[in-house]
Every structure is written in C-alpha cells, then in structure tokens.
Amino acid sequence: MLSLAVGTMRTVRGKVLYTACHFIDDEWKLHKVIMDAYPDLHFYDLRAGLLGVDYVCLSPHFIRSAIGKVVDDILYNRDLDNVFMMVWEIEGSHDIDRKLEKYQFIATNHTSTTYMDNVIHSIARLLTLHRDFTGEMYSDLLDLDLTRQDRHRFFSQLGLDYHHLWTYNEDWYSQYCSLEILRNKGYGYTDTLFTELLCMLWGAIYRSIQRISAPNCPTSSNLCLLQLFNLREVFRHQLAKASGEDAFAYNDSNGFHALEDGKDVADILREAMVALDKALQDFYLIWSIPLILDPRYKLVFTKSIFETAYGSQAAEYISKVQQNISELYSAYVEDQTELVCYLEDERVLDLAEGFDILSWWKVHGSVRYPTVARMARDALAMPTSSTLSSEQISHVMSIIRGYSMKGWFS
C-alpha cells in the first residue's frame, strides 16, 4: 500500500505543484518519492511547450481545473485499489472527493486530508500582531546591526533554525524569532506577560512542527494527533491565565492586531482553541490510526488523551476511534483476534525521542502481529509535512527543467 501527496513549493522559477507517493518497503524503510511536478503557468503560456513539461494554473479561477488535471493524471497512471489515503495541500482540494468518490480507499473515513504541519501553521497565524508592535520589532532589529555570525549564534542558542525563515515562509515564525532575539538582548517592551505568552505559544507550535517534520525521524504520522492535543492543552492553560486574575496585565501590553476590534488577549486564545477543536474534529479519526499503531501508546493512551481533553464527552470520540480501527483491520482480515492481542498486550515503555517505531515493527510485527504489521506499514507511511527534502526538491526541479522522465510506477 502507498499514500499519495499533492502539494506546492516555491522555487526561483515560481510556484510548482508536485505529486508524491509514500510507502514503507519490506525492510521497513520509509520512501517519499516525487512522482510529477507542474509549474504554475497561465493558460497558453508558450514556456510550457518550449520546456516540454505539463503545467497547471493555480489562480483561484482555475484551481478546479488544476486539481482535475492532477487527479486525472494519477488515475490514468495508477490502480487506486492500492492506495491507503491521499493528502492535499492546495486550496479547493475538497473538490477531489467528488472526483474520487467511486474509489474505495483503505482509509475509508478520509479520501483526502491535509498535511498536519499546515494545520499547525494555521493555528500560529491566528496570533496576528498589530502593525505598531511589528514595526517596533523591525526597527529594533535594524538597530542591533547583527552580523551573519551574530544571527547564527542567536539562532543556535535559542534552539531555532535560521533556514526555516525560507522553508516556512511564514510571518509568525519571523516574528517569533525576532521576539526571542530581542528578549535575549533585554529590550524592555519584550519583558511583559504578553510577550512571554506569545513566545510560549509560538515556541510550542514550532516544536510541534519540528517533531512531525524532522528529516531524521523515521516516520511521524504516529505523532500528529498527539501534537494537536499537546497544543490544545498549552492554549487551554494559557487561556486560563489570560482570563484570570492577571488579565489586566496581559491586556495592558496586548500587541494583537485584533485589539483594534476591541478584542483582548483571552478572546484571541479562545478563537485559537475553537480552531484547534475544529482541527481535532476533522482529523482525529484518520490520525488516531497511526497513534494506536505506535506500541508505546496503543488504544489505552489514546483513550486517556481524549478523556483529559473532553472529560465526559470523550466516550463518544473513543467509541468512534475503536470502531474505525476495527473496520480498518477488517479490510485486511475478518478475524479480530490478532488486533485484540496487540491492543491488550503491554505497551512498550520507551518514550525517548530516538524511539525507532519502524525498527520495532520490523523486529516484532512479522512474528507476533503479522496482519497488524501490514496495517502499520500503511498507516505509518501517511504524509504529514509539506516540507520537502533536498533530494525531493532536486527531483522536482529536474522535472520542470525537462530532464527527469516519469516512469515512477514502472
């Protein structure tokens, strides 16, 4: 089984839409293979014919046509009975459900979902700063007159990544890095409850994105739901503080853009909580699968995080999660005995960052849980991050330059 991913990337030649497939081989190695790439060009752009490459137009008026072209190319080249699920990272991707409705994917609850890092980025964007606040940061950064060595030293000391200023291409990350540097240099206006809260929230968001995007991580689909719940708890805790006895101190230094609309700090955090709960509602069924198939967590831990977040309402979520994992397993084999054994066996007591889940399944899966292992191979290959590796970027560029032939399904 494989999972398909469709996303976009910015290059020096403009925006490019790409398709990729993710799968785990018989040796339990995860592969992320670029299948095709389409430059974003206007219709009748002569460069398409001169370059000898397929192209799409990603402007809002033609996005449906672009999606249709990509889906048609996938359908033409692939028997979708072998596809576990699809991830889409372009606007209007809900339109593909109608185009693919006749196909019965293994992950039947979601024909398509989105990259988890994009979901988390969208939460960070809700913390929009007022122009006066960002203007002061900009001026102070210029006054620091940092050398290249200074900048890299600060990023290293603060545990941040200089290169993500380009790979993320997100205002919130630039603002977060700027705030941390200015706090480190002792600027007075950064020594407030508001900036402390902002850095705490953006820091938690950054670390969550890093955990599901780390290039040295064998797979990260098993961590996605956990990161959403972790962020929800961080925001819940900070909301309680910002709406409690220190509310005046938070609002006295409020630098959010929504201050112009009469919103205080707690109002913005409530909106972020609503967005997090919406994301959990939309994605908990699909992302609970790889979490349960992580031998450190299984169903018992999954139950506990729902109970912590939703209290008495957790039972409904847990029931649907149990039904979902059972139905998925039934697509592999009808007898549920092996799945029950896996879920009831003791969890692996190894919560270290370096736990290699693919190696664990390679050693234990084929002997103790061969059918569950098949399911794990498919679920753990689910795409989670829109960030491409340098090898994938090189492949995309070779395609749009007309050097790389297709043949990815041969």
SS3 state at 146 = coil
Residue 70 pLDDT: 83
In this prediction the pTM is 0.89
* Nearest alpha carbon to residue 64 among 97, 101, 43, 95: 95
Residue 109 pLDDT: 46
Amino acid at 303: K
pLDDT-flagged residues of the chain (< 50): 106, 108-110, 407-410
CA 134, CA 156: separation in Å to the nearest integer?
23
pLDDT in tens, 187-210: 888 889 999 999 999 999 999 999
Domain ranges of the chain: 2-113+388-400, 119-379
pLDDT in tens, 63-87: 778 877 887 787 776 655 678 888 8
Question: Given phi > 0 = left and psi -120 to 50 = alpha, else beta, which region is 163?
Answer: alpha
Give the position of tokens 């196909």.
103
Residue 92 pLDDT: 53
* Nearest alpha carbon to residue 318 among 305, 331, 328: 305
